[in-house]
């Protein structure tokens, strides 16, 4: 089977493959209502989400520690990770169904997703010496649209058997892995780094340009997943429950999906203005949206959806551009390690942010608690500015 050669064809296939592969990430959320009935447990979605996140954090840390995406062919890493993640997902259908086995297998799905999401960005970086911000804008945009999709199904009232969900997402992930493994060669700008260097991570920790980009990314991650997690509750609060549950699901879909569009749009702007400008503007803007929640006690109903759409666009547009800055801050042979390490630490922050905000909501309410997420962007901008001056 002939492999593609052009940058454009490679990007298209990487975007499609990453969208298909990361469909495993959201399978548990879509299947959760049936699982709750089968297990006789309520409210398992936060735990299911957390174990996948913990698996991803563990996987990205170990992939980075072993420099796996840099020491090995990244297309092979992507391919085998997609296969292993799919097998882990399918094993839920094979093993006797129980809560412990479900948590373990979803953890493993998250673990092997570490070889799909950041490694997909690494493959793109190997194709785009210039214009990487555009490429990663499309890649992250595809992931964001995947996040929004379950809310569209909920809004439409579509229910699909959990067994079909698991089988279909596993098949899609295998297809995504095959697209990369058989059609996309390693990029022309890839530099192999076959030796294991135990001192690499301490060495990266001294890179001020990397610390600046990572700091901005961490500020973004503190806000992003917590914003998404409590978005339906925030919509109901701001509208004073004037919308139905199906309308709330539609609004949630639109707000998250708008972020997918802004990722692609931000990449196009970054090509003209630079990734730094887009990332900092977006991070500042999303933080300002949180501040507005704290300042204004009420938002007229007619302005709620436009406000949320703007926030939804700003809260994601900086992600691919900070990842671009991370990739550009290190030598080509260390890009995979840097991207997976920063992803690992960033997603670890999301768990802390979500649990802290859960507690704050019980104490001060959804509106103020989510408004306080603006602390993340503020700290992120401060860290970026501090280390950028030193680089």
pLDDT over 70 (residue 143): yes
pLDDT over 90 (residue 391): no
Of 46-60, 150-164, 216-230, 282-296, the least confident: 150-164
pLDDT in tens, 307-336: 999 999 999 999 999 999 999 999 888 888
Identify the three-state secondary structure at position 207: coil
pLDDT over 60 (residue 286): yes
Residues 6+ apart with CB under 8 A from 265: 137, 317
CA–CA separation, 132 vs 142, rounded Å?
15
pLDDT at 192: 75
pLDDT in tens, 33-81: 889 899 998 878 778 888 999 999 999 999 998 889 988 999 999 999 9
pLDDT at 194: 64
CA–CA separation, 26 vs 236, rounded Å?
23
- Can you tell me the mean pLDDT for 218-234? 93
pLDDT band at 1 (very low <50, low <70, confident <90, very high): low
pLDDT at 5: 66
| Chain position carrying tokens 């072993």 | 66
Please state, in angstroms and as integers, the Cα–Cα distance from residue 73 to each residue in 48, 79, 122, 185, 186, following that order.
31, 10, 11, 9, 7
pLDDT band at 101 (very low <50, low <70, confident <90, very high): very high
- Can you tell me the mean pLDDT for 359-364? 93
| Chain position carrying tokens 């996948």 | 52
For the chain, what percent of residues have pLDDT higher than 70?
97
pLDDT in tens, 190-209: 887 666 566 778 888 889 99
- Measured from the Cβ of residue 360, the count of other Cβ atoms closer than 10 Å reads 16
- Can you tell me the mean pLDDT for 361-388? 94
For the chain, what percent of residues have pLDDT higher than 90?
59
Where do the structural domains in the chain lie, given as residue ranges?
Answer: 7-189+197-390
CA–CA separation, 40 vs 100, rounded Å?
14
Domain 7-189+197-390 has CATH 1.20.1250.20: yes
pLDDT at 310: 97
The CA dihedral of 275, 8, 337, 16, to the nearest 10 degrees, is: 110
Exposed / middle / buried, residue 270 (Cβ in 10 Å: 0-12, 13-18, 19+): buried
pLDDT at 33: 81
């Amino acid at each position: 089977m002939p492999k593609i050669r052009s940058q454009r064809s490679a990007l298209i296939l990487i975007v499609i493959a990453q969208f298909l592969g990361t469909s495993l990430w959201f399978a548990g959320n879509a299947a959760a209502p049936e699982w709750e009935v089968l297990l006789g447990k309520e409210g398992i979605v936060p735990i299911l989400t957390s174990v996948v996140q913990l698996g991803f954090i563990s996987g990205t840390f170990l992939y980075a520690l072993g420099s796996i995406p840099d020491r090995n062919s990244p297309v092979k890493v992507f391919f085998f990770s997609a296969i292993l993640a799919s097998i882990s997902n399918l094993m839920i259908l094979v093993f006797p169904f129980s809560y412990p086995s479900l948590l373990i297998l979803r953890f493993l799905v998250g673990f092997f997703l570490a070889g799909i999401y950041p490694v997909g960005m690494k493959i793109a970086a190997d194709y785009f010496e210039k214009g990487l911000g555009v490429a990663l804008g499309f890649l992250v945009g595809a992931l964001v649209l995947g996040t929004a999709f379950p809310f569209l199904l909920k809004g439409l009232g579509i229910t699909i058997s959990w067994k079909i969900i698991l089988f279909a997402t596993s098949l899609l992930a295998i297809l995504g892995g095959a697209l990369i493994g058989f059609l996309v060669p390693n990029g022309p700008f890839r530099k192999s780094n076959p030796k294991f260097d135990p001192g690499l991570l301490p060495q990266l920790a001294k890179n001020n340009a990397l610390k600046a980009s990572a700091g901005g990314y961490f500020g973004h991650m503190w806000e992003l997943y917590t914003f998404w997690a409590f978005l339906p509750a925030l919509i109901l609060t701001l509208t004073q429950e004037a919308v139905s549950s199906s309308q709330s699901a539609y609004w949630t879909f639109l707000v998250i999906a708008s972020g997918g569009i802004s990722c692609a749009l931000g990449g196009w702007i970054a090509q003209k203005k630079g990734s730094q400008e887009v990332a900092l503007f977006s991070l500042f803007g999303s933080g300002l949206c949180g501040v507005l929640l704290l300042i204004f006690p009420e938002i007229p109903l007619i302005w709620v959806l436009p406000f949320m759409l703007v926030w939804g666009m700003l809260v994601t547009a900086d992600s691919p551009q900070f990842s671009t800055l991370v990739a550009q801050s290190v030598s080509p042979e260390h890009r995979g390690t840097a991207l997976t390490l920063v992803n690992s630490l960033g997603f670890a922050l999301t768990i802390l942010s979500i649990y802290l905000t859960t507690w704050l909501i019980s104490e001060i309410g959804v509106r103020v608690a989510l408004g306080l997420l603006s602390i993340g962007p503020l700290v992120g901008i401060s860290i970026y500015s501090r280390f950028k001056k030193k680089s």
